[in-house]
Structure 1
């Protein structure tokens, strides 16, 4: 499980990719006193919706609100009911996301990858896909890939010499390992309420805190809870016990706060992932739609009136985001306030949306890595980023004071490593009131103390610029067929180094693959044209 000598899957003559720097080098730079401790990198995503595999359970103590958790009804979020969704999430979170970061990991910090299943064929596929992705890197920059069943079986010491774990997002199962920073601190740093109180120039914000928790699940609560006790992921609709009364009371407080909030505004849950859990409300009609999504009553949810009363579903016409969200508040995590709702002013007339990535050192210093522009779909889900390498010095100068403040803040809470902040820029200072009261044209609307989806772009600057490509864009795609088919279809671009595959996973059962790709362009107009060609031949993927 050391060096990787897997050749590309086709006869295409793909160029060797050289990165400007790697995650392993960045971590050593971030904390020189820990540079001699060999890190293992856990770079996968996580969900509170469904288990990601037989050895990768969903998070319960540290909840995250990804797309399925927000969009689906409570009854759909059961492992036994939704195998197709479970498989889709595992492909994205256990394969695509960690492959994308493994591509830039470099040697000296093994990347720990989890298997999607237990069969020999599944495990061979997991390994084959990841090794093929990083095979285009020069031998001196290829990461060591370490495969294991799940978070409970990460190998420390031994042949890999892993002494400490650095991680992308909090996994419940990491609590047993030596970590670069505590799980509670990391979850807190990435929460929306923490950002609102950070002292950074965020939009003016109101936080609706949840009081207490619903208590332990069990048949002693009421007859309805007893009926669904074998699969009780959420406080069931129809609960007449203390849990149901608590949920009703806390949901009412949130609904009342939203009803009082004048439009326009933005509502967020505590821990969003991939753009989920965020609602931009610009009109009264959108506000009413949001209220209905937050807390539905019987007959209000389209298509639910005919559900059987005997199916033991906890989605029987009284459902909404708040049922799923507030059910995650427990005695174990209430101190983290995972059910809080954040309501903020909408940044007025933003002229640019930047994703600024930097390294935060343990001394609280910031090392600028790059500034990209965000791509989102109509539902505000992140679908990719673009970067203009010729503008990076100017953007560094623009954002240097801001990232220094952010680096100092995360360091005070014990974090060092990659950080990304999303910044909305207005034409003049003070167009939108900031939470700190300072006039600013740069509003921090999100902070992620982890590797960001756009981090690969600045680390590929040298690769693209030496080919005369001043711009690049990264995004996720779904394609028919496998890697070989895609490479054959885009052979000219791949062989010229104009296109790179950052991650890939093929599902041969359905004849479809999901991938992350990077496309380079001579300028922004050329990049837009080339990205459009790829998008026209593929399908969009969101997280």
Structure 2
């Protein structure tokens, strides 16, 4: 039987230490503005996101499983004693919540020692969300449908903390950037001719910029809104995609969100160097707590695939990245954000640290620092990796195949969703590079 996972600390502990002593209900299903993944979560328009996804196969629910099940589970693994509200993807129209999603979540969270385990509640529609009197909500990102509730961080501050536009204009060291904001008003953006003219104006910057460079949309995550332009072919492909994206951004302009500048482009110089993922918790006052510094792997499009940590190097890396982390903390305090945060930080050829991206939320890399005691201190594994999502294998099949590693505590399930017809998704954390068993296993 697998040993219980005891976390080094939890988000509940860190929130309490920062002065948030009341109840917090977590809602970690990411809001979408372009693609409605599940009926129970309406599209968000005031808080507008660029969330283009590859078109799924007919009838496929894989993307919905990753975003509504696996992601909230994996991000809440480090939550501690807080309520987590999740949407049940497989609930029929007006019936009660099904059993598969609660069963999957129970297998994931059941690994955690009871004193640090979140309490999971499933609902079929976000309109059914109820929180205790006096409680606040902690979210993945602000959403229109949650705007009436009391958040841990005001939504306006949280939204700006996510903005790539705001980062480019801040005092935080980042790559040289040009920001181009929409020049038309919401009523003008409803005129197709005026909108088409504005799209052409904004894309001229991308068409004329010397190669290589990077284009970023203001509110996207997971690399979905980042375009690496290294050749004229890349430029042509990027312009093709951006015509539709910029038109969509402009069409979502409204009086309620113009102060966020939701329709903008960030064009940055492509700076050579290497990128590390720095996870932290930003308190209301004082320096952020660095929980891990790790390296990431991405695909050719810049989308995250896995993260690796070397525990033996953490003390040195925490010291090395402290100055830039303190700069990030000061910026977050200026905006009014506190809580978990993930930063992608590049070290240039001159050794300077530049902040490439900020995610003002729990990131996919956060569990690496919170499970050091479990993997490194108790079992001697020097390395660990977060891997996922893995597709088309059920949780029972995975547990059968890797029963030895699970029972040793070497593999920890971070999230899983078993779907109908064999559609399943999962994410894991695996230790290696030390202890009794050598390198990191391939799952």
Aligned partner of residue 211 in structure 2, secondary structure: coil
- Greater radius of gyration (CA): 1
CA RMSD of aligned residues (A): 2.1
Question: 1:365, CA displacement in angstroms?
Answer: 2.3
Partner of 2:172: 200
1:293 deviates by 2.7
Gaps (5+ residues) in structure 1?
Answer: 1-12, 77-81, 217-234, 236-241, 296-319, 430-440, 535-543
Give the superposition deviation at 1:156.
Answer: 2.0
Preserved contact between residue 22 and residue 106 of structure 1 (Cα < 8 Å): yes
Task: Answer yes or no: is 1:407 the counterpart of 2:407.
Answer: no
Question: What residue is the counterpart of 2:89 in the other structure?
Answer: 116
Match of residue 40, structure 1, among 18, 22, 25: 25
Q: What residue in structure 2 maps to residue 383 of structure 1? A: 305
Q: Is the 8 A contact 2:290 2:318 kept in 1?
A: yes
Matches within 5 A, 1:302-313: none
The change in CA–CA distance for 1:50 and 1:162 in structure 2 (over 3 A counts) is farther
Contact 1:99 1:502 in 2 (8 A): yes
Specify whether residues 475 and 149 from structure 1 end up closer, same or farther in structure 2 by C-alpha distance, changes over 3 A only.
Answer: same
Cα distance in 1 for residues equivalent to 2:391 and 2:303: 20
* Partner in structure 2 of residue 28 of structure 1: 16
Structure 2 residue 249 is the aligned partner of structure 1 residue 321: no
> For structure 2, which runs of at least 5 residues remain unmatched after alignment?
none
Q: Secondary structure at the match of 2:340?
A: strand
Are 1:92 and 2:40 matched, yes or no? no
Tell me which residue corresponds to 1:493. Answer: 405
1:64-463 alignment runs, 5 A limit: 64-68=49-53, 84=59, 87-107=61-81, 109-119=82-92, 120=95, 123-157=98-132, 163-215=135-187, 243-295=191-243, 320-348=244-272, 350=273, 352-429=274-351, 441-463=352-374
Please state whether the residue corresponding to 1:255 is helix, strand or coil: helix
Distance 1:411 1:516, change over 3 A: same
1:523: how far off?
5.3
Q: Distance in 2 between matches of 1:162 and 1:460?
A: 31
CA distance, structure 1, for counterparts of residue 356 and residue 413 of structure 2: 30
1:116–1:122 contact (8 Å) kept in structure 2: no
In structure 2, the CA distance between the partners of 1:121 and 1:91, relative to structure 1 (3 Å rule), is farther
Give the CA deviation at 1:214. 4.9
Contact 1:499/1:520 (8 A) holds in 2: yes
User: Could you tell me how far 1:144 is from its partner in structure 2?
Assistant: 1.2
How far did 1:121 drift?
7.3
Match of 1:478 in 2: 390
CA contact (8 A) 2:62 2:425 kept: no
Q: State how far apart, in whole Å, the 2-side matches of 1:178 and 1:245 are.
A: 40
Q: Answer yes or no: is the 8 Å Cα contact 1:67–1:274 preserved in 2.
A: no
- Paired residues in the alignment total 439
Give the distance between the partners of 2:33 and 2:205, measured in 1 at CA: 25
Q: CA deviation at 1:459?
A: 0.3
Alignment partner, residue 231 of structure 1: none
* Rounded Cα–Cα distance in structure 2 between residues aligned with 1:425 and 1:156: 43
Q: Distance in 2 between matches of 1:383 and 1:389?
A: 20
| Alpha-carbon shift at residue 122 of structure 1 (Å) | 5.4
SS of residue in 1 equivalent to 2:73: helix
Secondary structure of the corresponding residue to residue 394 of structure 1: helix
> Residues 194 and 283 from structure 1, CA distance in 2 versus in 1: closer, same or farther, beyond 3 angstroms?
same
TM-score normalised according to structure 1 size: 0.77
Label 1:139 to 1:269 Cα distance change in 2 as closer, same or farther (>3 A).
Answer: same
- For the residue of structure 1 that corresponds to 2:150, the secondary structure is coil
Q: How far apart, CA to CA, are the structure 2 residues paired with 1:208 and 1:394?
A: 39
The answer for the alignment partner of 1:52 in structure 2 is: 37
